[in-house]
């Protein structure tokens, strides 16, 4: 009898855990006024939409832009109405100097309730089979999509611990599988593991870490423009051209472009999840915002052996 006690306690814990989580979800939402949030990658896409949404909710928003004098940044300031609670700042996440300057700016303009959230949104995407891309491209993607998020996180971690705030990371369902953009999948899978470690480590400080996993929102974010088979071919090395003919490159490019065109144009669906991660009394560890067929593919990747999924994905690529 006593030997079964640990198992019974575990079952009781698993039964009560969802009830406790639902009770917390029903608690009052966070009061945004007087709290600061820094968002990276606000020139366009999700970052741009989120900056405006948080500003309208009452947060003090620091909107990091790669080009603070560009059209996106100027439009952001115009749409915010110049209230003073939204500040556009130069922030290249690959540049340690920019990150330090961003922290100094935030510290010098902190509202009364302090620093509440960091949203690591900045990212880039491209298309190409493994051997088509030079090492410099792999280094750039790792620096922007992975190390850039880590760089900003490490800089702002002391503030987040002090105010028991939130950290939100932009991942993707592409972290689970790849269909022509393995370089992007690689960085998103890596950031997921970084977040898993960070989430557990930050619990003791009252800091909550959330991952956003969008499906295909290419038309909404413009993170991945349509690819040009002609440009891909012109940039291939002679060794790769000897392996892949031009018709194959065109087929792959057309396939990838057709996937991009099927993406959602409603980026606010993802922004809703980001806002929940920042304001909910009980935020989720992961927010998957995707179509049913995209979620089903993720589920299959988690459930079936690799050999099965390789066959499914290979068949999709062959069509």
**pLDDT tens column, 188-219:** 999 999 999 999 999 999 999 999 999 999 99
Q: Tens digit of pLDDT for each residue in 265-299?
A: 999 999 999 999 999 999 999 999 999 999 999 99
Burial profile 298-319: b = 16 or more Cβ within 10 angstroms, e = fewer: beebeeeeeeebeeebeeeeee
Average pLDDT over residues 132-149: 97
Rg (CA), the chain: 21
Q: What is the pLDDT of residue 224?
A: 87
Is residue 87 over pLDDT 60? yes
Could you tell me the two tokens for 139?
């280094």
Average pLDDT over residues 158-176: 97
Cα angle 64-66-72, degrees, rounded to a multiple of 5: 80
Residues labelled as active-site residues: 184
Cβ atoms within 10 Å, residue 5: 9
* Beta-sheet strands, E only, within the chain: 36-39, 60-65, 86-90, 115-120, 166-170, 208-214, 286-289
Q: What is the pLDDT of residue 179?
A: 80
Question: Is 60 within 8 Å of 84 (Cβ atoms)?
Answer: no
Could you tell me the two tokens for 33?
């006024």
Q: What is the pLDDT of residue 16?
A: 60
Q: Which residues share a beta bridge with 166?
A: 117, 208
Q: What is the pLDDT of residue 28?
A: 78
Q: Which CATH architecture has domain 30-225+265-292?
A: 3-Layer(aba) Sandwich (3.40)
Is residue 90 over pLDDT 70? yes
Q: Which residue has the higher pLDDT, 167 or 14?
A: 167
Could you tell me the two tokens for 94?
């690959």
pTM above 0.85, yes or no: yes
Q: What is the pLDDT of residue 21?
A: 47
Q: What is the pLDDT of residue 222?
A: 86
Average pLDDT over residues 178-192: 93
Q: Tens digit of pLDDT for each residue in 63-75?
A: 999 999 999 999 9
Question: Is 314 within 8 Å of 204 (Cβ atoms)?
Answer: no
The residue ranges of every structural domain in the chain are 30-225+265-292
- CA neighbor of 178 nearest in space, from 304, 291, 270, 309: 309
Q: Tens digit of pLDDT for each residue in 5-49?
A: 666 666 766 666 555 445 555 667 899 999 999 999 999 999 999
Q: Which residue has the higher pLDDT, 228 or 26?
A: 228
């Amino acid at each position: 009898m006593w030997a079964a006690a640990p198992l019974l306690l575990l079952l009781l814990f698993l039964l009560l855990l969802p009830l406790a989580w639902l009770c917390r979800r029903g608690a009052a939402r966070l009061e945004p006024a007087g709290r600061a949030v820094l968002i990276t990658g606000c020139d366009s896409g999700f970052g741009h939409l989120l900056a405006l949404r948080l500003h309208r909710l009452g947060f003090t928003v620091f909107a990091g832009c790669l080009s603070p004098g560009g059209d996106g940044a100027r439009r952001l300031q115009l749409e915010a109405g110049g209230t003073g609670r939204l500040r556009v700042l130069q922030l290249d996440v690959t540049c340690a100097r920019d990150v330090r300057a961003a922290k100094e700016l935030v510290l010098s303009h902190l509202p009364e309730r302090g620093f509440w959230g960091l949203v690591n949104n900045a990212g880039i995407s491209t298309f190409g089979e493994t051997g088509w891309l030079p090492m410099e491209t792999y280094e750039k993607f790792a620096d922007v999509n992975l190390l850039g998020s880590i760089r900003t996180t490490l800089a702002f971690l002391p503030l987040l611990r002090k105010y028991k705030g939130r950290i939100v990371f932009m991942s993707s369902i592409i972290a689970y599988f790849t269909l022509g953009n393995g370089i992007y999948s690689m960085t998103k899978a890596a950031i997921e593991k970084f977040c898993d470690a960070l989430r557990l480590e930050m619990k003791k400080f009252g800091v909550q870490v959330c991952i956003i996993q969008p499906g295909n929102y290419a038309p909404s974010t413009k993170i991945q423009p349509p690819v040009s088979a002609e440009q891909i071919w012109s940039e291939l090395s002679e060794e790769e051209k000897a392996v892949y003919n031009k018709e194959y490159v065109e087929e792959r490019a057309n396939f990838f472009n057709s996937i991009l065109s099927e993406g959602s144009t409603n980026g606010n669906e993802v922004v809703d999840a980001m806002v929940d991660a920042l304001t909910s009394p009980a935020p989720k560890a992961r927010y998957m915002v995707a179509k049913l067929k995209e979620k089903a593919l993720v589920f299959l990747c988690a459930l079936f052996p690799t050999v099965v999924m390789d066959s499914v994905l290979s068949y999709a690529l062959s069509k």
